[in-house]
């Protein structure tokens, strides 16, 4: 068999970092981890090719070469999915589709040849077995959750790792919390399932053999879902591995705010090489947190929690939401004030939406407020339900947040505030690479010369060089991030 695995195109969004990638000569932020793992599950006798449309164009010759096209996607990739599947059907190549987009709502895709839904560790072997017998079915589903201790390592030999800003791996699935707006528990359950330390070390070894050096993203929705196992088994192994290999990798991940409750865990993560953690802050309004059952964020000094994580030597990036029924009229300024005070430089602020598998969708549907499907992009101006707040006021307030926190004056003030107070730990490994030097010179030209806001760039440049020289590379990196956000949101 010839298997062509396709990762559809991502549009220009907050997470694409499309406008920042040119500074480091990369084509995409992250590789298609799911497809690389699927490739390892396919028979070793098959010929396999991975095409990531964010890196490489898809040619008809590649589609004709394939006996089957395997496509995996998230909702935000829908437009590219429709284009790719149309081309495959026109050329007569069979399509095998899976991933969150198809699992979340398979009905619109029943015209495709095969749907491998839920977790592939369970449903893909069933398809492959039937295919070998010559009688594959249209749809494969499972209500069970996979034992990910049996999940193979992703095959990174199938992509050019030099084209990505960072590589990815996964340690756990599932989240112990059950926030109303989140579909993670519906897709992956509340019981946190983890890989063995040996699996993670094997994956690190595989990435190391590709020659890649730099940042690795643990894609877990909540990396600290099982703190005890994490501290006792995985982190000590990563600390040892990185030390033996002279620290070739640093790590980023996502975690809940209760990370700040565990000094030992924060210290171990920093020692293992974790530089950055994304935390779902969501809202500073207690009533809104209660409304969405984000109870682990309630009754806290959230600014202090963020500072505690930063004090451990890890940067905090944050997710924020407006549009809750309980949001008061002043929620927009309160969110701005929190972001500035906490020093969260990269703040992803989105309008509340209701993915179809969430409890929020069920509640709003019963109330007759659902008006559309969610396209997966919560940083545009679309909502798929009727909000309690007057929509024009909500959109205007959301617009105000973005154009305030990413205006040069406010953004660079927040960045300097963060750099002034951030104390990276002794295990910090911010090495100067050729890529960072190239990014510096491009930033000098595009931001320091061509940008209308060059005054703020040079103020940061000189301030960090004289006051926090150790963090100068970080200052340049975040000036490039700011450039991306301003391009994305049309901010001058």
CATH number of domain containing 13: 3.40.50.280
199 and 336 co-located in one domain: yes
Structural domain contains residue 81:
yes
131 and 198 co-located in one domain: no
Q: Kindly report, residue by residue over 264-273, the tens digit of the pLDDT.
A: 999 999 999 9
What pLDDT shows up at residue 437?
92
- Is the pLDDT at 1 greater than 70? The verdict is yes
117 and 182 co-located in one domain: no
User: Please, which pLDDT band fits residue 426 given cuts at 50, 70 and 90?
Assistant: low
135 and 171 co-located in one domain: no
* Rounded average pLDDT over 134-152: 97
304 and 263 co-located in one domain: yes
pTM summary value: 0.95
Q: Kindly report, residue by residue over 18-76, the tens digit of the pLDDT.
A: 999 999 999 999 999 999 999 999 999 999 999 999 999 999 999 999 999 999 999 99
Structural domain contains residue 15:
yes
Task: Please spell the DSSP secondary structure of 166-194, one letter per residue.
Answer: -EEE--EE--S---TT--HHHHH-SSPEE
Quick one: DSSP state of residue 234? I
User: Please, which pLDDT band fits residue 425 given cuts at 50, 70 and 90?
Assistant: low
* Rounded average pLDDT over 243-255: 96
178 and 63 co-located in one domain: no
- Rounded Cα distance between 464 and 450, Å, is 21
- Rounded Cα distance between 451 and 403, Å, is 17
225 and 275 co-located in one domain: yes
Gyration radius (Cα) of the chain, Å: 23
Structural domain contains residue 422:
no
- Rounded Cα distance between 95 and 84, Å, is 10
99 and 170 co-located in one domain: no
Question: Pick from 299, 318, 349: which residue ends a domain?
Answer: 349
Q: Say how many C-beta atoms besides its own lie within 10 A of residue 55's C-beta.
A: 18
Of residues 24, 65, 11, the one with CA closest to residue 442: 24
Enter the tokens of residue 32. 């298609």
Quick one: DSSP state of residue 43? -
Question: Pick from 333, 349, 365: which residue ends a domain?
Answer: 349
* Rounded average pLDDT over 460-487: 96
Contact assessment for residue 281 and residue 247, using Cβ atoms and an 8 Å cutoff? no
User: Please, which pLDDT band fits residue 459 given cuts at 50, 70 and 90?
Assistant: very high
* Rounded average pLDDT over 350-372: 96
269 and 129 co-located in one domain: no
325 and 268 co-located in one domain: yes
- Rounded Cα distance between 182 and 170, Å, is 19
Contact assessment for residue 374 and residue 354, using Cβ atoms and an 8 Å cutoff? yes
- Is the pLDDT at 429 greater than 60? The verdict is no
Of residues 230, 327, 233, the one with CA closest to residue 282: 327
Structural domain contains residue 389:
no
- Rounded Cα distance between 256 and 62, Å, is 42
- Is the pLDDT at 428 greater than 60? The verdict is no
Please tell me the total count of domains within the chain.
Answer: 3
Domain, as residue range, for 449: 434-489
Question: Pick from 349, 364, 393: which residue ends a domain?
Answer: 349
What pLDDT shows up at residue 434?
81
- Rounded Cα distance between 477 and 440, Å, is 8
Q: Kindly report, residue by residue over 63-102, the tens digit of the pLDDT.
A: 999 999 999 999 999 999 999 999 999 999 999 999 999 9
Structural domain contains residue 391:
no
CATH number of domain containing 299: 3.20.20.70
- Is the pLDDT at 430 greater than 60? The verdict is no
Residue 45 burial (10 A CB sphere; 0-12, 13-18, 19+): exposed
What pLDDT shows up at residue 378?
74
Structural domain contains residue 369:
no
For the chain, the distance separating the N- and C-terminal CA atoms, rounded to the nearest angstrom, is 52
What pLDDT shows up at residue 436?
87
185 and 71 co-located in one domain: no
The backbone region for 160, taken as left when phi is positive above 0, alpha when psi lies in -120 to 50, beta otherwise, is beta
What pLDDT shows up at residue 424?
85
Structural domain contains residue 305:
yes
Contact assessment for residue 306 and residue 278, using Cβ atoms and an 8 Å cutoff? no
- Is the pLDDT at 208 greater than 90? The verdict is yes
Contact assessment for residue 87 and residue 60, using Cβ atoms and an 8 Å cutoff? yes
251 and 323 co-located in one domain: yes
What pLDDT shows up at residue 377?
87
Q: Kindly report, residue by residue over 479-492, the tens digit of the pLDDT.
A: 999 999 999 999 97
CA distances from 275 to 250, 254, 268 (A): 7, 11, 12
- Is the pLDDT at 123 greater than 80? The verdict is yes
What pLDDT shows up at residue 380?
83
- Rounded Cα distance between 401 and 394, Å, is 11
- Report the DSSP beta bridge partners of residue 7: 52
What pLDDT shows up at residue 144?
96
Structural domain contains residue 170:
yes
What pLDDT shows up at residue 431?
66
């Amino acid at each position: 068999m010839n298997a062509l695995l396709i990762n559809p195109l991502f549009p220009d969004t907050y997470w694409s970092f499309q406008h920042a990638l040119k500074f480091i000569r990369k084509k995409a932020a992250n590789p298609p981890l799911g497809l690389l793992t699927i490739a390892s599950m396919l028979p070793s006798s098959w010929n396999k090719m991975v095409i990531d449309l964010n890196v490489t164009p898809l040619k008809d010759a590649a589609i004709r070469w394939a006996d089957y096209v395997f496509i995996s996607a998230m909702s935000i990739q829908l437009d590219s999915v429709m284009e790719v599947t149309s081309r495959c059907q026109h050329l007569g190549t069979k399509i095998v589709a899976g991933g969150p987009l198809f699992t979340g709502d398979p009905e619109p895709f029943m015209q495709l040849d095969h749907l491998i839904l839920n977790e592939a560790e369970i449903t893909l072997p069933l398809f492959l077995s039937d295919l070998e017998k010559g009688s594959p079915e249209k749809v494969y589903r499972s209500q069970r959750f996979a034992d990910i201790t049996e999940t193979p390592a992703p095959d990174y030999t199938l992509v050019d790792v030099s084209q990505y800003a960072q590589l990815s791996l996964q340690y756990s699935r599932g989240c112990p919390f059950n926030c109303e707006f989140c579909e993670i528990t519906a897709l992956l359950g509340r019981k946190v399932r983890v890989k063995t330390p040996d699996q993670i070390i094997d994956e690190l070894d595989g990435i190391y053999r590709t020659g890649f050096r730099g940042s690795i993203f643990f894609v877990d929705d909540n990396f600290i879902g099982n703190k005890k196992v994490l501290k006792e088994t995985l982190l000590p192994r990563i600390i040892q591995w990185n030390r033996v290999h002279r620290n070739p990798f640093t790590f980023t991940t996502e975690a809940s705010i209760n990370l700040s409750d565990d000094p030992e865990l924060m210290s171990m993560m920093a020692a293992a090489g974790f530089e950055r953690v994304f935390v779902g802050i969501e809202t500073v309004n207690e009533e809104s947190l209660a409304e969405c059952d984000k109870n682990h964020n309630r009754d806290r000094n959230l600014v202090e929690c963020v500072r505690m994580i930063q004090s451990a030597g890890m940067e905090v990036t944050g997710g924020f939401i407006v549009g809750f029924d309980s949001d008061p009229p002043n929620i927009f300024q309160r969110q701005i004030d929190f972001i500035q005070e906490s020093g969260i430089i990269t703040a992803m602020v989105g309008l509340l939406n209701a993915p179809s598998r969430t409890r929020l969708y069920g509640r709003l549907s019963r109330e007759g407020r659902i008006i559309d499907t969610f396209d997966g992009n919560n940083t545009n101006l679309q909502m798929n339900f009727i909000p309690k707040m007057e929509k024009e006021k909500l959109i205007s307030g959301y617009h105000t947040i973005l154009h305030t926190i990413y205006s040069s004056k406010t953004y660079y003030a927040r960045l300097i505030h963060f750099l002034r107070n951030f104390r990276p730990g002794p295990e910090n490994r911010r090495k100067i690479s050729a890529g960072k030097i190239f990014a510096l010179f491009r930033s000098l030209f595009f931001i320091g010369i061509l940008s209308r806001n060059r005054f703020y760039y040079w103020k940061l440049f000189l301030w960090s060089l004289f006051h926090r020289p150790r963090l100068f590379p970080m200052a340049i990196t975040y000036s490039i991030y700011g450039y991306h956000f301003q391009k994305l949101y049309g901010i001058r």
